[in-house]
Amino acid sequence: MAEEYCVFLGEESAIAALEKSHFAIKSFEYSSGVRVVPYTSRLHKALCCEYGENPPGGYLKGSNSLCGAVADLLENASVNGKVAYIFEEHFGGWRDCESILWENGELIFGPSLEHTDQIKVLGQMHITKEAIYYFKKYDDPDGWLRESC
């Protein structure tokens, strides 16, 4: 069975700006100063379909899983603080992961498909790699972002 999670992480001010930008974005506090938005299939559909983007074909350059419209939202929110995108999926012995980091309205790292880079991005957010197991409990029973709009 596949295990999968996908989240946006950000400094409180950046995630507050993100929540104001779209009614479907809801976050929870992970640690002092850091908030998490589970990127569920419902949120993906609300964000990507609203902007008329239907992956595949609409992904951020270099990304396997993040559509351009959502990347733009995250980049814009990063004017208010760091924002990261973290994706990981395990199936049998296979692992797919991705990490991206924005700050000051600019892409500063990624997209990277390397697990070690994912740990670096988590470190930039002052989060340990053990957070991965915490995020998994926010599984989405309807599926994840590989669904089309």
Q: Do 140 and 37 touch, CB atoms closer than 8 A?
A: no
Burial of 141 (0-12, 13-18, 19+ CB in 10 A): exposed
Q: Specify the pTM.
A: 0.81
- What pLDDT shows up at residue 69? 79
- What pLDDT shows up at residue 136? 58
Query: CA 101: distance to chain centroid?
Result: 9
- What pLDDT shows up at residue 103? 95
Rg (the chain; Cα; Å): 14
Q: How would you classify the pairing of strands 34-38 and 94-103?
A: unpaired
**pLDDT 10s per residue in the chain (149 long)?**
556 678 888 899 999 988 888 888 888 887 778 888 888 777 877 777 665 555 544 677 878 778 887 888 899 999 999 999 988 777 777 778 889 999 999 999 989 888 888 888 888 888 876 666 666 555 554 444 344 33
- What pLDDT shows up at residue 131? 66
Give the Cα separation of 5 and 61 in Å (integer). Answer: 21
